[in-house]
Each structure stands twice: as C-alpha cells, then as structure tokens.
Structure 1
Amino acid sequence: MTARPLVGWYVHHHGAGHLTRLLAVRPHLEADVVVFSSLAAPAVLPEATTWLQLPRDDHDVVAPDGTTRAPGDPESGTDPTVRGMLHWAPLHHDGHAGRLAAVAAWIAHARPRAFVVDVSVEVTLLVRLLGVPPVVVAQPGDRSDAPHALGWDAADRVLAPWAEGLHVSSALDRVRDRVRFVGGISRHDGRVDGPGSPAPGTVLVLAGGGAEGREGLAQRVAEASRATPAWRWSLLGASADSWVDDPWPLLRRAEVVVSAAGQNSVADLAAAGARAVVVPQDRPFDEQRTTGRLLAERGLAVVPDHGRADHGWPAPDAWPELLDRACALAPDWSLWQVDGAGARAAAVISEVAR
C-alpha cells in the first residue's frame, strides 16, 4: 500500500475565513496534514491532522534602549516590507523569527510533499527555498503589487477559490499555466437538510469574521430593524451569545441574508441559494469591494452603493428598499460553482503532493 503523503498547511490568523477554508477542504484530502497558525487549534480537528501554534509576529519590538515600537511604525526601524519587496518581514522581531524557524525546522525533519499557504508571501518563499512545492491560495482584489507577484511566481500551483471567468486578474494571468480555478469553497457544500423554504419577512445578519466587522453591529441592526417594522431581524456571530457552530438551518430559513463579502461568506450564500444584501467591508487590496461589484454585476446579490452610515453599513432609511430589492432577486448561484469545490481544491493539493 502506498503511504499517504504528508502536507503542511499555513493558516493566516486574520478573521475566520482561512481556517474555515481548511476545514472545508480537509475531509477531501487523502493525506496527513500538519497545520501552522498563530490561531489556537479549533476544539475538534479532522482525523490525521496536527496543529502547531506559531508565535505572533505583530507585537511590539523592544529596542536596545528599552523603548518599544510597533513593527509597522515607520520610526521603529523594522522595515517590515523590505522597501516594498515583501508584505511583512520586520527586523529584530522575535515572533517573526520564531514562526519562520518553526516552519523551517519541521520541514527539515518531516520532509513534506507539499505545503498549502493561505496566505503569506513570506511563508511561500521560505517553503520554496527549503525545496517543498507551495500551493498558494489566491484572493480577489488588486493583487498587482510586487510581493504578490513574487509569491505567485514561487508557487507550484495557485489555487483560486472562485469559478474561472468571474474575477479577472491581470496579475494572475502572468502565471495562468499554474492557476487552478476550483469554485467557491463552502463548508456547507452538498448539504440538503434544513427548512424547505424561507420564512417570509425574516432577515438574518451574519457578522463578519474580523472584529472590525462586528464592532457596533448590534446597534446598527437594531436601527435597521426599527426602520423595517414588517421584518423580523436576527443577528448571528456578533458576540459569544449569538454564535452558533452550525448556521446552515438559519441560512436556509431566512428570506433575506445580510452578509459581508468575504470569500467564505459568499460561498455559504451560494450553497444556501440565498437572496442577500451583501455589505463589503474594508479589506486590504480592495478584496471585498471587488467581490461586491462582481455580485452586483451578475445579479447575485443587492450591494448597497449609497446611504452608508459607518463601516459601509447602509443608513436605517435605506433598508426598506434594500430588502424589497433582495426579495425580487432570482440569483443563479450556480455561477459560483460551489458544488464539489472543496474536493477540487483537495485534488489540486494531491496533484502536487504526488
């Protein structure tokens, strides 16, 4: 019997999307996987999966004179972008050195067959310098900067979690022969359980994975609810009290879902066949606004473009029209190609590992 390949997997700590994507793809991957992340391990790990927690690389740097400065401070002397060549490689930072050293020590000992990087240009380069083929996860937005080009050039495969032809990227065109479009990856792919039809007059708001998306959200939802008395609003994930491990039944039950424009959030909307109002959040490289424009152009969701109060959130008096427009949608979510996307992503990784 052929031994199962060993695969490394780097999970970025910003938001919940990178971890969610790992958990969606992992059941389809016939391999032993070791995960590296600054995040704490989830309560339940998939079988044959090991989690190694890395030190953070964003805490203050202590100078020889005892003063402390944030590594991104121009006066800190840490030059984290190396004059624009990289995204984050601060000088004299013990956390940054420790995390890369941990990955390097494991590779030298374990000799993995492939390494998924979701996402970090610096980890991609380290893995490739150590002789392991990286599978780099791409993201929407303007990725024409030099660090992204460097990371994609170093990748053995670039895994794009959207359908081919949706996001047009001249930066990805440079490495087109190594890009694999797998469709939107949702942890709910293939599920058919839950309510058969939505409950009229219900709105479900999904809090974004980042803390900035949740800040003040309960108040904004309360104001929107008061402006739409014919609708019953629910808020999910904005606090420990409103968190549920499985939002699928609630997604299926809501007549309208309000969501950010993160990759996992939109893939979940597609899996549920939801009629949605999508409110892009501010993200580096214009990631969510790029996705929001695409959703609006394809008629897949209502994306507000005016009347915003704060955090991109529409003003209360905009919500009656937004909800009516969402109800009138007939979105063809098959364009997002969620069905089988996790398995297709696993196949790309397996191809490299073999």
Structure 2
Amino acid sequence: MIGWYVHHQGRGHLHRARSITAHLDDEVTVLSTLPREDWAADWVELPRDDVEGAIDASPGGRLHYAPVGNRGHTDRLATIAAWVRRARPRLVVVDVSVEVTVLVRTLGIPVVVMAMPGDRDDAPHELGHDLAQGIVAPWPGELYQPAYLRRRAHKVTYAGGISRHAGRPLPAPDDDSPVAPSGPPGAGARKVLLLGGAGGSRLSPADLDAARAATPGWEWTVAGPLGRWYADVLPLVTSTDVAVIAAGQNSVADVAAAGRRAVVIAEDRPFDEQRATAGVLRQHGLAVVREAWPSDWAGVLDEAMALDPAWERWRTDGAAARAARAVEAAAEGVTGAERAEGATRTVDAP
C-alpha cells in the first residue's frame, strides 16, 4: 500500500494524485485536509494547521512551516505518524510539504516528492529533496530543468504535464455545450475562455469587465471564481478559440491536452513558481504570456490567434502513467535493496 499526502491549496494537487493513482497497482491511502473522495482505497482526514497562528513557523530557516503553539499543526503530524505506524506503507508520495517529507522519512518510510517549478534552492527544499527516494516533475524535462533538479538528476523523472483530461476523447460541441463551436474568421464572435482555479487570484470583477469592454468582437465565458464552477471543463476548453489561464501546472496541462491557444498570466506564488512556468511557455512559443492583467486585450487575443502551439512538446499523453511508474520504481528500488542486503547487513538502531 502507498500513502499520498495531498496539499489542500487549490485543487491541482488533488487532481494530479487522482490521475496518477489510476495507474498504480497498489492500493492508495490519501492523507489530506480536503474532503474525502471515493477514488482512493482509504482517506485520512488531517486536522487543519492554519487557524491558530504561525509563531516561529520557520525555525532557523530550516523548515517552511512548523509553528510553535499551533495545536492543529501538532495534531496533523501526529495523525500522520499514527497512520504510518498502523498502516506500514511501503512508500509515501508527498505533494507537497517539506515537513511531511521529513516526518515520514524519519519514521523509516521512503518518500517520493512531487517537484514544483521555480527557485527551490532554500534550505527546507534542499532538505526535503535530499531525503526523497525519488522526485517526479510534472512537466517535460526537454523544456525545463531547474538547477535544483539538475543537481539530483539521478532520481528525477520528468513525466510531462499531468492532466486529468489526457487520453480522453475530445468532445464535439453540440447545441447544449456551454460554449458553442468556433467558426472561421468572420463567422461570428470569436470565443475566449477565462479558466480560473481554486488556488487564489488577484483578478477582480472590474478586470474582467474591462477586458470584455475592450474586445467587442469576442464572446467571453468564465469558469471559476469569477463565473461558475463546472464539474467538467474539457468541453469548455475544446470549444474555445483562446483560453486565458494562470500558469499553474494543471491549467497548463489541461490546455495542452486540449491543444488550445492560450494567454498565460502568472499569479503571485512562493518561489516564483508560476513565473518560472510562464517563462518556459514564452521561451518555446507555446502561449502568449503577460506578467499582469493586460489593458490591450484586443491585441493580446489577436496575438494568441496567430500562434500555432506545438503542445505535444508538453508531453501530456502518458504523463500520469510515467509518473506512476516512477513511484513504483522508487518503491521497488527500496524493497529490492532490502531483499538483496537484508541477510548480511546490520543497522545499529539509534
């Protein structure tokens, strides 16, 4: 059995876990603050650790979040430790938390860490990545290899962009589709989809109103916090001329899987995570990239329409299966070594 720690910020970590675990033979137990879902064999609901303050949360700069006097944080880690003792998993995937990585590995369980873009050379990330048995990067290594991963190339798998929609037949829009099929130039208003997520955004309703006012020849559809939430966004994405997204890993992978033109606007995230991804997309001509919400939307959308993005370079096809194989290989690498050395090796307990 394999454990999978899912961070509660947004829904990207959750979608990624679901996509990868569908390709695993092992049963999977999810450990998360997020509400239980039925695709995992078991689900350990963790106490929240963000409601009681964050005094001395980064002790000596060696951890990202270990606040003093935060009972939720203490109970959260204690719950994980109790589960490890009871379940004895052969490996835990952590997406993402340095503190959970350190805890689980200290308890003697190998860890696979999901990599994140950006500048991850700080002391906590160095510790977590050094402790990991394997690291899975959900983007193509041919296009982006940050320095912190190049230093650990022997244990990194660049799986490609992991989309929950990869491999699905692309839906043909019909009369009931929330976005009607796009016609050739001159056949009516072109269509733009603003695809928002649950991870937080600086975008305001006034920004959206200004964009609509500046683009009278475009029909805007909004999915996410400024519009409505959809259980399945793939029909929306495949039916639009241009998708406007942040530079989150899942949003980029979803647009890549659908093969759509995109305008990418990086949100503020720690360690310049989204700016790093946006820079890669700009460098390789995969999307129109802006640092902030534009004022010249008509020109931006025309620029996007001129793109012919080679989204196959983002390697979404088979990405979740490649990540699953990396997880299984990490687990087998540990157990195989134990079988080979167990008869002769002696380890002194602390």
1:9-41 deviation line (CA, Å, top 9, x unaligned): 101111111111111112111111111111222
Q: Match of 2:133?
A: 156
Q: Match of 2:320?
A: 342
1:204 alignment partner, one of 193, 204, 224: 193
1:157-179 deviation line (CA, Å, top 9, x unaligned): 01111111322311112221111
SS in 2 for 1:10: strand
Distance 2:157 2:270 in 1: 23
Q: Match of 1:118?
A: 95
SS in 2 for 1:83: helix
2:82 alignment partner, one of 105, 108, 124: 105
Stretch of structure 1 that moved more, 25-34 or 131-140: 25-34
2:18 alignment partner, one of 14, 20, 23: 23
Q: Match of 1:313?
A: 293
Structure 2 unaligned residues grouped into runs of 5+: 174-179, 184-189, 333-350
- Displacement of 1:117 in angstroms is 0.1
* Aligned residue identity for 1:55: P
What TM-score, normalized to structure 2?
0.88
Matched ranges for 1:154-303 at <5 A: 154-195=131-172, 199-200=182-183, 201-213=190-202, 216=204, 218-238=205-225, 242-303=228-289
Q: Is the 8 A contact 1:221 1:235 kept in 2?
A: no
Structure 1 unaligned residues grouped into runs of 5+: 1-5, 61-69, 72-77, 306-311
* Aligned residue identity for 1:314: P
Q: Is the 8 A contact 2:170 2:258 kept in 1?
A: no
- Displacement of 1:49 in angstroms is 2.2
1:113-147 deviation line (CA, Å, top 9, x unaligned): 11000000010011111111100000000111111
Matched ranges for 1:32-111 at <5 A: 32-42=27-37, 45-46=38-39, 48-60=40-52, 70-71=53-54, 78-111=55-88
SS in 2 for 1:339: coil
Distance 1:278 1:209 in 2: 16
Distance 2:148 2:91 in 1: 24
1:60-85 deviation line (CA, Å, top 9, x unaligned): 2xxxxxxxxx31xxxxxx31111100
SS in 2 for 1:276: strand
Distance 1:182 1:202 in 2: 32
- Regions of 4+ moved over 6 Å: none
Stretch of structure 1 that moved more, 11-20 or 117-126: 11-20
* Aligned residue identity for 2:281: L
Inter-CA distance 289–198: structure 2 relative to 1 (3 Å threshold): farther
SS in 2 for 1:314: coil
Distance 2:14 2:83 in 1: 20
Distance 1:193 1:300 in 2: 20
SS in 2 for 1:204: strand
Give the percent of matched residue pairs that are identical in Structure 1 and Structure 2.
Answer: 49
1:224-245 deviation line (CA, Å, top 9, x unaligned): 1111111100000125x61111
The root-mean-square deviation of aligned C-alpha atoms, in Å, is 1.5
